[in-house]
Structure formats: C-alpha cells, structure tokens
Amino acid sequence: MSRNLRKIYTVSELTSEIKSLLEESFPFVWISGEISNLSTPVSGHYYFTLKDENAHIRAVMFRGQNRKLKFMLEDGLSIIGLGRINLYAPRGTYQIIFEYIEPKGIGALQLAFEKLKIRLSEEGLFDDKYKTPLPFLPNKICVITSPTGAVIHDIIDIINRRFYNISIEIIPVKVQGDGAIPEIVSAFDIVNKLAESDGSAEVVILARGGGSIEDLAAFNSEEVARAVFASKIPVVSAIGHETDYTISDFVADLRAPTPSAAAELVVPLKNELKNRCDEMFKNLIARIYNNIERLNSILKEMNTRLVDPRKNIQDFRLRIDDYINRLLKSIYNVINRWRDQLMWMTKSLYATSPYKHIDNLSVTLKRLNYNLLSYIDIYIQNRRSITIVLASRLNDLSPVAILDRGYSITRTIPDAVVVRDPKIVNLGQDLEVMLSKGSLICRVEGKS
Amino acid sequence: MAKISFEKSLKQLEEIVQEIESGNLPLEKAMKKFEEGVKLSKYCSEKLDETEKKISVLLHDNNGDITEEPFMPENEAKND
Amino acid sequence: MAKISFEKSLKQLEEIVQEIESGNLPLEKAMKKFEEGVKLSKYCSEKLDETEKKISVLLHDNNGDITEEPFMPENEAKND
Amino acid sequence: MAKISFEKSLKQLEEIVQEIESGNLPLEKAMKKFEEGVKLSKYCSEKLDETEKKISVLLHDNNGDITEEPFMPENEAKND
Amino acid sequence: MAKISFEKSLKQLEEIVQEIESGNLPLEKAMKKFEEGVKLSKYCSEKLDETEKKISVLLHDNNGDITEEPFMPENEAKND
Amino acid sequence: MAKISFEKSLKQLEEIVQEIESGNLPLEKAMKKFEEGVKLSKYCSEKLDETEKKISVLLHDNNGDITEEPFMPENEAKND
Amino acid sequence: MAKISFEKSLKQLEEIVQEIESGNLPLEKAMKKFEEGVKLSKYCSEKLDETEKKISVLLHDNNGDITEEPFMPENEAKND
C-alpha cells in the first residue's frame, strides 16, 4: 500500500468528523426509553441513561430546560423526549441532550403542541432578539382577556395598588372555545392599530386563568402565536398556572407565571419609584454638597497650609538684629582695639616727652651756671688778693713809716722839695713838716 | 427632554448621582450635572403624577370601528 | 483669572502651597507666590460660594412648588 | 540698591559682619563696611516691613477665611 | 593731615615714638617730633571719636529700633 | 641770639665757663664773657622753660578735656 | 687813669712796689711813686668792686633762677 494512499487521522480529526456526522444527521430526534442512573449534580442539570432492552444512551437535560418539565424525572420512568445528539470530544462519548421530555403515553394534542413549538422555534419566533423590553413605566396598559372572572379584577387591583394613576384599557376577548382565536388576534390588531395614536397603550397583557391543555388551546394556536409575535407593542403573557406553558408564552416578550404576576411585572410600584426618585434627588443634593464640602475642606487645608511669609519675616528680623548686634560689637571691637593701640602709643609718646630732656639739660645748665659764677668769683678773688698783697707791700714801703719813730720830713711849700740843706730855704719861708700823725706848717726863723 | 422616558430619565439621574458621587468631576462639570440632575429629578417626579387614572374598555364592531367605554362592573354582567 | 476652572485654581493653589512649604523660595518670590495663593484661595472660595448659591437657587426654583409652574426645564434653562 | 534681592542683601550683610568680625580691616575700611552693613540692614528691614504690610493688605483685602484668627500675635505686638 | 589714614597716622606715631626713644635728637628736633606725635595721637583719637560718632549717627538715622535701648553700655561709659 | 640752637648755646656757655675758669682773661674780657655766659644761661633757661611750657600746652590741649578750664594760667600771668 | 686796664694798673702797681723796695729812690721820688702806687692800688680795688657790683646787677637783672640761692656768701660778706 502506497503511503500516499493511506489517510491518517489524528484522533481529533476523526472525532471531529464523527461529531459532524452525528450531529448533522440527528439535529433533533424524538426518542423513547427508560430512565436509569439519574443524577442531579449541584449544577442543576439532569444526567441519566436512557435504555431499552438492547441499548443504552447517555442523556442530559440542562437546567434551563428542566424548568419546563411538568413532572419529576425518576429512575425507571419511561419517557418520550426531544433532543439533539451531541458528541463530547474530550471523552469520545456521545449523548443526547434533551430539550423536552414528557412521560410516555401523552396525547396527540400535546404532540401537536410540541411540533408547533419546534416549528415556530425553528422559525425563530421564540428568539430573544425579537423580544421587546417592557416599558419601565407605561402610560397605559392594554389587557387582552376575558372581561369577566377573577383575572381582570386581579390585574386591575394589582395595577391600582401598584400605580394608581396608570390608565388601563381592556379589550375583552373570549379566551377559550370557538371564536377565541380570532378575537384574540383581532384584539392585537386593535391595539397595534391604536399604537400610533396619542395615549395608546404601551404594553399588552395577554391573560387567562388556568385550565387543561384543551382549555388553553387558543394560546397554543399558531394564529395567536403569530399575532403576539407581530405585535409592535410588547406583550406579556400570563396564561394558566405557573406550570402551564403555552406557545403564546414562548412568543410573548415576557411570560408571567400568573395574571397577577403580569400586572406586577408591567407596572412598577409607584411608591417605590417615588421613593427612588426622592432618594435619587436627595442623593443628588447630598453628593453635590459632598463635593462642595470636600472641595471646601481641601481649600481650607490649603488655606491653613498657605503659610503666611510673616513667620519667615520674623526669622529674618531676628537674623538682621543679630547681624546688627554683631556688626556693632565688631565695629566697636575694631575701634576699641585701635583705641587701645593708640592709647598705648600715646602713653609711649608721653613717656618719651622732652621733659626728661629738659631735666637733663637743666642739670647741665645749672652746673654751668654754678661754674660760671664760681669761676668768675674765683677770678675776681684772685685779682683782689693780688691787689691786696701789692697794696700791703706798698704800704710797708711807705716813706712815711719812719715818721712813727719820731722822724719828720720837711718840705717846701708848694714845691714839696724835701729840705735836706738849710741853704735852700730862706728865712721867713713857710715849710711843711710831716709828722707821724699829721703835718705842721712852720716858718723859718733861723738857719744853722 | 419631554420625549425621554421615565426609565431613561431615572437612569440618567442615577448615572449623574454616581458621577457626582465619584468625586472625579470638576466642580463646573459637577455643577452642570447637578443642574441636569435636578431637572431630571423634577421631570421624573412629574412623570409619576402625570397621567390621570382611567380604566376603559375597547369594543369593536364588525365594521372594524372601535369604541371606548368606561369600564364598569356592569360590563362583567354584560359580557356574561 | 475668571476663566480658570476651580480645579485648576485649586491645583495651582496646592502647587503654590507646596512650593512655599519647600521653604526654598527667596522672600520676594515667596511673597509673590503667597499673593498668588491668596488670590487663588479667594477665587476658589468665591467659586464655591457661587456654586452653593446656584444650588440653592436651583433647588428653590425647581423643587419647591413643582406643579405650579409648567414643566419645561430645558426651555427655562434656555431662556435664562 | 533697590534692585538687589532681599536674600542677596542679607547675604552681603552677613559677609560684611564676618569681614568686620575677622578684625583684619583697617579702620576706614571697617567703617565703610559697617556703614554699608547698616544700610543693608536698613534695606532688609524695610523690605521686611514692606512685605509685611503687603501681606496685611492682602489678607485684609482678599481673604476673610485666612485672617479670621489673629495671625501671628507676636508680630502685632511688635508693630504696636 | 586729614587725608592720612588712621593706620598710617598710627604708624607714623609709632615711628616718632621710636625716634624719640632712641634719645639722639636735639631738643628742638625732639620737641618738634613730640609735637608731631601729639598731633598724630590727637588726630587718631579724633578719628576714632569721629568714627564712633558716625556710628551713632548711622544707627540713629537708619535704625530707630536699635537705638531705643542703650546700646553697648561699655562704649557709652567710655564716651562720658 | 634767637637763632642759635639750645645745644649750641649750651656749648658756648660751657666754653665761656672754661675760659673764665682758665683765669687767663683780662678782667674786662672776663667780665664780658661772664656777661655773655649769663645771657646764654638765661637764654637756655628760657628755652627750657619755653619748651616745658610748650609741652604742657601740648599735653593739655591734646590730652583729655582739660580745655574747659581757663587756658594756661602761667601764660596769662606772663602776658600781664 | 680811667683808660688804663685793670691788669696794667696792677702791673704798674707791682713795678712801683719793686722800685720802692729797691731803695735806690730818693725820698721825693719814692714818695711820689708811693703816692702813685696808692692811687693804683685804689684804682684796682675800685675796679674789682665795680666788677663785682656789675656781676651782682647782671645776676639780678638777668637770671632769677641763678640768684635764687644766695650768691656767693663770701663776696657779700666782703661787700659789707
């Protein structure tokens, strides 16, 4: 065998092909069998094995579908179900995923219901994308239902209770029996026709009380389903009891379990709204004031932190004062230092004053003075003593000295010629006779 | 604003409240939002009391004409 | 200064506060900054007062007797 | 001298103080420096007075919040 | 003599003192030097007084605050 | 004689003293020399007085605040 | 005789004394010489007195300081 001819699958590839084959061949199958090994994990999905005498098949019903069950699954129960074949690649197992299960032995009506449901579902009438959200607060509510009976009263009561001033428009229809389907369809026509006009209803409640599957037949009709689907105004279905499901329920924009519930779903509690509004308004005010408060406190903080430079100024002032003090101290230091030096110098100068000089010179001068006087005195004394000696010697030689011994000297007058010889004198001539103690004037009387 | 639904208004109002609450808006913007919020709040309040209660029954004849009658307890009797 | 938003003013004020707090500014500059800061603070304060007053007015106008005056908040605002 | 910044003046003053304190200056120079120092000190003082006055005016004019509490009581005492 | 700096005068004074101390001067010259010395000493003293007065005036003129309290009591005592 | 320096005068005086001391001079000459010596001595003495007085004045004028009291009573006495 | 100097007079006096002492002179001559000698001696004496007086006057006139102390007590005694 050529290698080229050999097709080799990976496990995934093979599994993937088998999965396609299986799932495309059996998109939906009706299958009957007996439940065994039923388990319900926390997830809420049902896992079980469906078996007959010869074969087993794994089966799952997911939680979403479980709610539609009108009975409890249990081991040993024979069922008929609608499901898809699914291959779970990671484990290589296949199983059937049930969309719908009913006990085996259900009637033809139910079968027709299921068939229609599948058809419409496949057509997309149940698709979420077609479901219109309900108005939050409708101006007017249209109720399509029987004008008699508890349903309408319940609805009105509840609406009144919840939101007194909402208008209600009732389109009375037959809800079972002949003519019910056309009336309901026509009611939708009317509502939608009026939809363009002012004050029209903004939501429709299609309601009916509980009943058998036969009683609910109109709501399982294709006509009504299509009327509901066609309605531009959102439709809330409230048909039968909580466990009753009709085709209309699937098509409706919202299914309410009961008519009362429908009223509750459609109409909000006015008080609640009012409270919410008030609350919101209060919050609004509180928040804006909070904002302002917050900003105010930030601003206040900023204000306290915005430090006045005056504190700095204080510091600066102290510094300047210090500088001035130091300036003064130092300049006075400079001055005092110089003054000290000057004083010292001046003291030195005074110490060297010429007073000392003067004193010295004074002494010298005094000495010289003394000497001058002493020497002149000595000089004069000297001269005087010489003079005195000479005078004394002269005195000793005085010719008059002999007179003391009694001699006398006779002299002529006035020639003062000493008379030694009488011949030189004449008689009568006057002569002077010198004596020791004076002299005599004598006249010559005679000669010898 | 008149065309805005109550729900939208309420939602807007809620958003505004949250926005303001977040504290991330500048004052001027917050103030503007607040103003808007006040209007919305007023609008919502008014909206709640706007409509007048009326319960009517719509009837249609074979010609397709629609008539409106007040809903009365007798209607029940009539339809029976 | 009138054109500056509150937040910007507050931010500027904060920056100024930090600058002054850093303590590195010369006297003249610090003084200038302080002056600026005081003005900004005043501006912010006024802005807040203004806003509060505005809120007061808004609440008084809108929230008092709501039903008395016809509701057209947009229009009223527009006519202001 | 009016163009010199306060800090520069203060710095100069400090330098002068240190120069004179160093004791190495001749009398005339020391005296000249001293004179300069006194002028600088005066200049600085005036600058501070001016600034303080400016602050006073600013606070008085602009911001009730800031001046609410008596600011720097020491300063006020000084100014008396 | 007014143009001679204090320091120069003091130096001259010192020189004169040394010259006189050397003792070799005739009376007249010594006297002359002494006279000069006295004048220099006086000049220096006046210069210092002048400087002190100048400081006083400077302080008085420029800084009222400082002169309020008796400044440098030692110096005042000296001037008495 | 006024032009002769003190030292010269003193020297002359000394010479005169020596001349007189030598005793070789005639009386008139000695007398004349003596007279001269007296004058020189007087001159020197006056010179010293003068110098002393001058110092006194100098010291009085320059040193301290002596000038308040009447100036140099010795001089005034001389001038009478 | 006034023109003759003290020294010449003293010399003449001495010569006269010697002439007379020689004893060779006749009486008249001796007497004459003696007379002359007496005159000379007197002249010299007077001259000395005169000089002393002159000194006294000089000292008195010129030099207070010198005469302060009693001048030459020996001389004063002589002059008495």
In a domain, A276, yes or no: no
A224/A155 same-domain check: yes
Cβ–Cβ gap D62/C38 under 8 Å: yes
A149/A247 same-domain check: yes
Q: Does G4 touch chain A (CB under 8 A)?
A: no
Q: Does F62 touch chain E (CB under 8 A)?
A: yes
Whether the Cβ atoms of residue A166 and residue A159 lie closer than 8 Å to each other: yes
pLDDT at G74: 41
Q: Does A409 touch chain G (CB under 8 A)?
A: yes
Cβ–Cβ gap A309/D34 under 8 Å: no
Encode pLDDT of D16-67 as tens digits.
Answer: 999 988 877 888 888 899 889 988 988 898 888 988 888 888 887 765 554 4
Q: Is the pLDDT of residue G76 over 70?
A: no
pLDDT band (50, 70, 90) for residue B77: very low
> Is residue F63 within a helix (H) or strand (E), and if so which, with residue range?
none
Comparing alpha-carbon positions, the chain E residue that sits nearest to A321 is: E66
> pLDDT of chain E along its 80 residues, tens only?
456 888 899 999 999 998 888 877 888 888 888 888 888 888 888 888 888 888 888 887 755 444 433 344 344 434 44
**How close does chain A come to G4, measured CA to CA in Å?**
15
A170/A250 same-domain check: yes
In a domain, A302, yes or no: no
Alpha helices by DSSP H, listed for chain D, are 6-22, 27-62, 64-67, 73-79
Residues 6+ apart with CB under 8 A from A441: A413, A430, A431, A432, A433
Select the more confidently predicted residue: C74 or C61: C61
**How close does chain A come to B18, measured CA to CA in Å?**
9
A165/A201 same-domain check: yes
Encode pLDDT of E6-20 as tens digits.
Answer: 889 999 999 999 888
In a domain, A73, yes or no: yes
Interface of F with G in 18-47 (CB under 8 A): 26-28, 31, 34-35, 38-39, 41-42, 45
HSE (CB half, 13 Å, CA atoms) of A86? 15
Q: Supply the CATH number for residue A52's domain.
A: 2.40.50.140
Q: Which domain holds residue A431?
A: 404-443
Q: How many residues does chain A have?
A: 448
Query: At residue G51, what are phi and psi to the nearest 5 degrees?
Result: -60, -45
Q: Tell me what percent of the residues of chain B surpass a pLDDT of 90.
A: 1
A92/A219 same-domain check: no
pLDDT at E2: 53
Q: How many CB atoms lie within 10 A of CB A122?
A: 11
A29/A130 same-domain check: no
Q: Is the pLDDT of residue F48 over 50?
A: yes
Cβ–Cβ gap G51/F26 under 8 Å: no
A365/A437 same-domain check: no
DSSP-derived secondary structure letter, C65 = S
DSSP-derived secondary structure letter, A418 = B
Q: Which residues of C touch D58 (CB under 8 A)?
A: 34-35, 38
Say which of E17, E34, E55 has its CB closest to residue A331: E55
Say which of A339, A348, A354 has its CB closest to residue E31: A354
Query: At residue A73, what are phi and psi to the nearest 5 degrees?
Result: -75, 145
Q: What is the mean pLDDT of residues F3-23?
A: 89
A129/A196 same-domain check: yes
In a domain, A115, yes or no: no
pLDDT at A441: 92
Q: How many CB atoms lie within 10 A of CB B55?
A: 18
Residues 6+ apart with CB under 8 A from A17: A9
List chains touching A (3+ CB pairs under 8 A): B, C, D, E, F, G
In a domain, A382, yes or no: yes
**How close does chain C come to A43, measured CA to CA in Å?**
51
Alpha helices by DSSP H, listed for A195-309, are 222-230, 247-251, 259-266, 270-305
Q: Does A364 touch chain F (CB under 8 A)?
A: yes
In a domain, A167, yes or no: yes
Residue keyed to tokens 């301290």: F64
Q: What is the mean pLDDT of residues F5-31?
A: 90
Say which of E20, E30, E48 has its CB closest to residue A335: E48
pLDDT at D12: 92
In a domain, A340, yes or no: no
Encode pLDDT of G3-56 as tens digits.
Answer: 688 899 999 999 998 888 887 888 878 888 888 898 999 999 998 998 889 888
pLDDT at G63: 53
Structure tokens at A44: 């809420």
In a domain, A110, yes or no: no
pLDDT at A117: 87
A96/A131 same-domain check: no
Among residues A76, A105, A134, which one ends one of the domains? A105
Q: What is the Cα Rg of chain D in Å?
A: 17
Among residues A52, A76, A105, which one ends one of the domains? A105
A132/A240 same-domain check: yes
Residue A66: burial class (beta carbons within 10 Å; 0-12, 13-18, 19+): middle
Whether the Cβ atoms of residue D13 and residue D40 lie closer than 8 Å to each other: yes
A193/A221 same-domain check: yes
**How close does chain E come to F62, measured CA to CA in Å?**
6
Which of these, A135, A231, A248, A225, lies nearest to A192 by C-alpha position?
A231
Whether the Cβ atoms of residue A233 and residue A191 lie closer than 8 Å to each other: yes
pLDDT at E15: 92
Give chain A's domain count.
4
Whether the Cβ atoms of residue E26 and residue E34 lie closer than 8 Å to each other: no
Whether the Cβ atoms of residue A99 and residue A79 lie closer than 8 Å to each other: no
Cβ–Cβ gap E51/D27 under 8 Å: yes
A414/A386 same-domain check: no
Q: Does B36 touch chain A (CB under 8 A)?
A: no
In chain A (448 residues long), the average pLDDT of successive 10-residue segments reads 72 90 86 89 88 90 76 81 89 89 70 83 90 87 89 90 89 89 91 82 90 83 92 91 83 90 89 86 88 88 82 86 89 87 88 81 89 89 90 82 84 85 89 88 88
pLDDT at A144: 93
Among residues A219, A240, A268, which one ends one of the domains? A268
